[in-house]
Amino acid sequence: MGSILDDENLQRVHKLHTVLRPYLLRRLKRDVEKELPSKHEHLTLCPLSKRQRFLYDEFMSRAQTRDALASGVYQKIANILMQLRKVCNHPDLFETRPIVTSFAMPRSAVADFEIQEFLVRRRMVRSYDLGEGDGTGGGLDFGLLGLRFIDRVGESLEIAQEQRRLDETPFLPHFGESETEAPIKDLRTIEGFRKYSAHLDRVRKVAKWAHVGYLNRLKCSRPDPIFPGELLSRVEGIVKRTIVPFSEVDTSKGYLDEVYTVNRAVKSYVTRAEEMVPLVGRFAFVTPAAVALDLPRLALAGHKDTIRSLPPSLDAPLHQAAVKLQIAFPDPSLLQYDCGKLQRLAELLRERHLGGHRVLIFTQMTKVLDILEVFLNFHGYLYLRLDGATKIEDRQYITERFNADSRVFCFISSSRSGGVGIKCVSLVPSFRILIDVF
């Protein structure tokens, strides 16, 4: 009976050893300390970043914080200390950077004036048809509206030159006349009133015809067109087709039948979009506070049929720029530059990595491990993570892999890892860093 009990006890001890073996050192501490190299501790001061200083001062200036400090209650003071530790460790622990998006309104303010705008447009078109406005038979075609870039493309060069030659502005009535000296404003006598009224009529006529002459000369002295119609028709005759980008040309024909040089000079929308990617990424950063969903319908009201006839893929190159102006994510580099500790840690890791060392980083907050993961991924370092959420069967495997695989540069773990079966002496990095000392 005694031998049976001994066998059962041996089995229990064997099972107990199997369970506890990964978590126990099989050597005495005094023997292990002799084999370990000497330890050097360095305390590095990390100044707060601009955002950390702002959050720190803003939190301390709150009336609620001042009242809690004045109360002297230990729990309230400890809570304030914890919030300040979050700010000092990383500002995202205290207040994350928001993702900025525009407020989408289904109906714009312009839509309320749609009927009034339609009436005004109809009135302006009617004035243009009747020749009202400037006295030259074109109520809308005046000023600089006729000098737009789009109007000067494809225009005939001969017509533009002939139009300048036919300028008859000097033959208009009262051309070149200057204002005469105004008579004395005498409204008490009939003769004085007539002289003053005649002067006002002449001033109005001179001003009217001076404006008519200005508009007529402006229209007749249009500059030479950009890409004249003669040039475009000549080039189209050379290529025997509408000028399109080279990517849209059928190259199955013989080289002597087509002239591809002109087509190569024309860039497609996709090519231009690829060239503009760096500019869009750098300068398309201002997200509007609000956008109206019905604004395209109002702006393109007269082009519905044309838009429906276009292929759906036409606006694909513009998708990146449109999304860039609708939603703004925080820049990944801000994760480092928002925190003074991570700025210093980046320099330390760069020095250790160039020296062929390996690093073990401890932290007390589990959320700091999440930030460290993003930080290490941003710099491209291989790492392993261990915290309280790691499964028991994976802890020993992670430890052994870090010790065996020299490619893993960094091991991040919570400071409570000793309570989950991991001892510092079971890992063999060259440097150990504790980053959340307050």
229-239 and 157-165 helices cross at what angle (nearest 10)? 160
- Give whichever of 121-135, 224-238, 374-388 has the largest mean pLDDT: 374-388
β pairing state of 383-386 and 290-292: unpaired
Q: Has residue 343 got a pLDDT over 80?
A: yes
Residue type, 334: L
**Average pLDDT of the segment spanning 253-257:** 63
The residue behind tokens 């006529």 is 205
Sign of CA dihedral 220, 224, 225, 230: positive
The rounded distance, in Å, linking the Cα atoms of 326 and 177 is 57
Provide the token pair at 397: 């495997």
**Average pLDDT of the segment spanning 41-55:** 90
Q: Cα-flanking dihedrals φ and ψ of residue 327, to 5°?
A: -145, 135
Provide the token pair at 409: 């540069």
Q: DSSP state, 332?
A: T
Cα-based distances in Å from 83 to 137, 284, 328, 374: 74, 35, 28, 22
Residue 135 pLDDT? 43
Task: With beta carbons less than 8 A apart as the criterion, state whether 77 and 69 touch.
Answer: yes
The residue behind tokens 């950077």 is 97
**Average pLDDT of the segment spanning 54-72:** 91
Residue 239 pLDDT? 56
Q: DSSP state, 435?
A: -
Question: Which position has the higher pLDDT, 438 or 295?
Answer: 295
Q: DSSP state, 289?
A: S
**Average pLDDT of the segment spanning 328-338:** 88
Provide the token pair at 279: 């500019």
Provide the token pair at 43: 């305390």
Q: Quote the distance between the C-alpha of residue 85 and its chain's center.
A: 31
Q: Has residue 3 got a pLDDT over 60?
A: no
pTM of the model: 0.54
Instruction: Kindly indicate the confidence band of residue 143, based on its pLDDT and cuts at 50, 70 and 90.
Output: very low
Provide the token pair at 16: 């107990």
Q: Has residue 150 got a pLDDT over 60?
A: no
Residue 242 pLDDT? 62
Cβ-Cβ contacts under 8 Å for 232 (sequence gap 6 or more) = 154, 243
The structural domains of the chain, ordered by start, are: 2-24+27-35 (no CATH), 50-96+334-434 (3.40.50.300)
Cα-based distances in Å from 306 to 282, 309, 310, 336: 33, 5, 7, 49
The rounded distance, in Å, linking the Cα atoms of 284 and 328 is 9
**Average pLDDT of the segment spanning 181-186:** 74
Percent of the chain with pLDDT over 70: 73
Per-residue pLDDT reduced to its tens digit, 188-231: 788 888 888 888 888 888 888 888 888 877 777 766 666 777 77
Task: With beta carbons less than 8 A apart as the criterion, state whether 102 and 287 touch.
Answer: yes
Q: Quote the distance between the C-alpha of residue 8 and its chain's center.
A: 70
Residue 417 pLDDT? 62
Task: With beta carbons less than 8 A apart as the criterion, state whether 165 and 240 touch.
Answer: no
Instruction: Kindly indicate the confidence band of residue 238, based on its pLDDT and cuts at 50, 70 and 90.
Output: low
Residue 346 pLDDT? 92
Instruction: Kindly indicate the confidence band of residue 133, based on its pLDDT and cuts at 50, 70 and 90.
Output: very low
